[in-house]
Chain A
């Protein structure tokens, strides 16, 4: 049964390819290209390679040789984790049968079904999976663009930006001011900016206790707000000034040369300014023509693009419904997608979509909180089924157990993305 179906699919794919492009396929194996080796892409590549047991050719295109997770990067800012704790190589994926190409994808030809690389080569696919993460919306914060990211880092992509922000935090003068411009919805990791505020406060409390933090926020409220505010009062009383939308937090401009932030007309000289602008899908999604506005709409059942059934979009770049943009979500979506893609290419069984997410945040040493939910695919979107959130006033024991659990999760998800380290 499986055999026949596979044969049929295999032949028709070969026929289609030979009509569309004069390309000879190695052993006639179906080809999957994954663009972006992060939470979504690495997981999808690994699962398709692992589960198809060599029946599918999987190529992962990712420019960096070491992936630095954004998750736990705030803990690095807070001196709770080391930068080396956050880096992961692609060796485990390569050992698991994934062809890892360190390059940028710069073009997608949907008719010819090829991807062009920055180095000039081109690769053919039967199914293309995009998980390029985020880019920033041009002109989102007045006075800031990518050329200012050294003076005013976003630190919202992993690695060098995170290290830069940490260096600036360390170099802050005694009693100095750390400013954050928080992003509007929707953006990657809803609790991320507020965990960052907590970890920066944690660092400053130990090293520069008279320093201040101001947050200009275009939103009236934010993820786990009650939990964060309780924590800020308990641990960092008087240090953090959060200016929400109601108090002009959305009326912001910055001057990276003068190191000033203007909030609702009031100019403040600051020592560090972390600008997290409004976000959109990683640019390659737009190049591929699968975006509508800032994001790429997908079908909930298999994460396939609404614009092209042979392209799937995962993680932050996708517009899927109720799931927050998180590493956990991207990983969860990747497994649903991998199952569907493998099924389409080899005739393996396709099981119904099931998604879940949990986001842990650390407020202070051993003071962890979490929020999570399960989701299902409906015709319209990924819809929330059930959820939970940590409570205010929990005991120190519960909070410590929650933090320890987050460490277990970090070890778990990175092993799930990259395979066992080699």
Chain B
């Protein structure tokens, strides 16, 4: 059952992206990468929640799934929407935390190097249940490249077109901001908007309505929306 759950995104994303980089990591190198995380997160025998939640038992844990830790709304929503931590989801998250959960309080810009992420994931994997060497357990590796084509990020959107397209957003997302049940997207930095919308489109980010809406937006349209919302004034 677990195998089925994490294979699904592989199958979906795999069609769209070619595996491009090494898909195995090294726990020792991962421990070094983890130095960057230590300011906020602990892992291992005596780990406790600090600024960030402890990372023991992370694999298979639901996002915002740790009792006693106060998560951001964004994380709680992602968890309620079915986001679970496995190698594939961690990889997407670590690359750009805000692509997956826009309002996360984790003030970390992301680990751009895929190999470093692979090392880190293998390292963290050791602190979760399930022996890593049996097939049903969470794999430590993933073979999908989630990088968004820089050409897509570089597109300059037409805000007038974005204004028209935004009608499809403002039925739910209030133009004036506001954050009850549905997050605000007004004044969202352009690149984060684009990355998040493509993450929905590629089904890396979980939400049926957003996957549907983003699914039929072209690259130009996403750029136009991002250009419009980034300086929407009320």
Contact = CB atoms under 8 A, between A and B. Distances in A.
Interface of A: 47, 51, 328, 331-332, 335-336, 339, 349, 351, 354, 356, 358, 370, 372-374, 385-388, 397-398, 400-401, 404-409, 411-413, 415-416, 420
Contact of B171 (A331, A351, A370): A331
A358 B82 CA distance: 20
B212 A370 contact: no
A400 to B, nearest CB: 7
A51 B216 CA distance: 25
User: Binding site of A, secondary structure by majority: helix, strand, loop or mixed?
Assistant: helix
B161 to A, nearest CB: 6
A412 B171 contact: yes
Contact of B212 (A332, A335, A373, A407): A373
A386 B215 contact: yes
A416 B167 CA distance: 9
Contact of A398 (B80, B160, B215, B234): B80
B149 interface: no
Contacts of B181: 404-409, 411
Contact of B168 (A354, A400, A415): A354
The 5 closest A-B pairs by CB, nearest first: A408-B182, A408-B181, A335-B167, A401-B80, A404-B181
Interface residues on B, range: 20 to 34
Contacts of A408: 172, 180-182
A386 B203 CA distance: 15
Interface in B185-234: 208-209, 211-213, 215-216, 234
B208 A420 contact: no
B111 interface: no
Given A374-B213, A386-B215, A413 B80 contact: no
B80 A409 contact: no
A370 B182 CA distance: 14
Contacts of A412: 170-174, 178, 182
Nearest to B65: A397
Contacts of A387: 212
A297 to B, nearest CB: 23
A329 to B, nearest CB: 10
A332 B171 contact: yes
Contacts of A411: 174, 178, 180-182
B81 interface: yes
A409 B212 contact: no
A409 B182 contact: yes
B165 interface: yes
B176 interface: yes
B175 interface: yes
Contact of A388 (B82, B174, B212): B212
A388 B176 contact: no
B118 to A, nearest CB: 30
Contact of A405 (B82, B170, B182, B215): B182
- Which of A372, A411, A412 counts the most B-chain CB atoms under 10 A from its CB? A412
B234 A420 contact: yes
A351 B81 contact: no
A388 B208 contact: yes
A358 B182 CA distance: 14
B206 to A, nearest CB: 10
B164 interface: yes
